[in-house]
Amino acid sequence: MQRFIIFFFAISLSFGQQFNTTDAAAFYKRMLELMESTSIAVPDLGRAAAPVIENAKQTKKLMDRASGQPSPMAYAFLSQLRAYLALSDTMPRPFPFPEEAARQFAALRDGAARLDAHMRALLEAQTTQLRGSDRDNTRRYADANSKLAPPAPGKQRVVFYGDSITDSWRLNEYYPDRDFVNRGISGQITGEMLGRMQADVIKLKPAAMILLAGTNDIARGVQLETIQNNLTMIADLAQLHQIKLILASVLPVSDYHKAENPRYEMTTTRPPATIKALNTWMMAFVKQRGLTYCNYYDALRDGAEFLRADLADDGLHPNSAGYRLMAPIALAAIDSVVKPPPAPVAPAPQQQRKKRFVF
């Protein structure tokens, strides 16, 4: 019992603010244990509450696989916990009711109250962020943009624009002689990229931009129509400012590395069918608009339509082998829309002077 009290005291310190992954996992596990144990103490509760408990188990599995503790899943777990408690209140309890069972029900209600407080604090924090002055993180590259020289004569600038897959790409290692500027930000969705187009693309006066976006939208449950609208508006802005847009396919994902870490099961939050649907729309869109499509998807997928196991260590982000495969595909797309720099001219060989011999 003492350890039980210590556990809830430790958990209580985490609530009211965003608690870390380890604390959250322990909390949800304990709530499930309490739901299962209390369901035995009340006749017929176990049978009636079985679907609710199973749903809570499945929600916890999704949270274990996901990165961090996504708030929609946490809210779903809270809803299932509340449903269980409401159901338990309708069931007649035996008399006398075991003290241990009463303590466990009290702990469940305390946990639900603390999770509710956590969700309210999280909602308030997210609302504050949305109301903040920099929702789209335009500060990230503000200093770098102010120091960036204008495009050099003879070198056409290209902005690589996107999320973490772009953010992690060391362009200078793959294209040392080109004016390629990286403006990727990890975790961003297309709406946020649309919001920083002026700061991180238009003001840099590139000849072209290559946009790789959409995987985070899919993971967050953003509707395909919304993603398409955002990409369309980005295309409109690029066209208005005479920037040639190259639209890159969303990369495939895989579950090949989930044995190393449950969070590497990527197809749950990024369904391959949704990725293919977005890519299909992109291909039709670029054809309609006369834009260029950069097809990473076909080059990186295997026969099962998953991201090849050797090209990513987590089923989502390319490793060095993945970037080496992507680099020439991107370059070919870029050189098809902007004039590549002229090849260096080798100096003409000097003619040897004929030696004069004096007799």
Picking from 247, 193, 198, the residue whose alpha carbon sits closest to that of residue 222 is 193
Answer whether 158's CB lies under 8 Å from 206's CB. Answer: yes
CATH code 3.40.50.1110 region(s) in the chain = 142-335
Distance CA 206, CA 241 (A): 10
| CB hemisphere CA count around 209 (13 angstroms) | 31
Q: What is the pLDDT of residues 163-206, one digit of tens each?
A: 999 999 999 999 999 999 999 999 999 999 999 999 999 999 99
- Collapsing DSSP states into helix, strand and coil, what is residue 207? coil
Q: Mean pLDDT lowest for which of 49-58, 116-125, 328-337?
A: 116-125
2-131 maps to CATH 4.10.830: no
Name beta bridge partners: 212. Answer: 162
> For residue 130, what pLDDT is reported?
59
Q: What confidence tier does 19 reach under pLDDT thresholds 50, 70, 90?
A: low
Picking from 198, 190, 187, the residue whose alpha carbon sits closest to that of residue 223 is 190
> For residue 6, what pLDDT is reported?
38
Q: What is the pLDDT of residues 197-254, one digit of tens each?
A: 999 999 999 999 999 999 999 999 999 999 999 999 999 999 999 999 999 999 999 9
- Phi and psi of 343, rounded to 5°? -70, 140
CATH class of the structural domain 142-335: alpha beta
> For residue 314, what pLDDT is reported?
94
Order of strands across the sheet with 244-248?
Answer: 180-184, 158-162, 208-212, 244-248, 292-294
CATH code 1.20.1440 region(s) in the chain = 2-131
> For residue 129, what pLDDT is reported?
60
Averaged pLDDT for residues 112-136? 77
> For residue 349, what pLDDT is reported?
62
Of 274 and 17, more confident: 274
Average pLDDT in the chain: 87
| pLDDT surpasses 70 at 268 | yes
| pLDDT surpasses 70 at 344 | no
Averaged pLDDT for residues 275-283? 98
Distance CA 318, CA 116 (A): 38
Answer whether 60's CB lies under 8 Å from 32's CB. Answer: yes
> For residue 7, what pLDDT is reported?
40
| pLDDT surpasses 50 at 1 | no
Distance CA 99, CA 108 (A): 14
Q: Mean pLDDT lowest for which of 25-29, 51-55, 117-121, 296-300?
A: 117-121
Answer whether 313's CB lies under 8 Å from 323's CB. Answer: no
Q: Mean pLDDT lowest for which of 27-31, 60-64, 94-98, 102-106?
A: 60-64
Of 123 and 248, more confident: 248
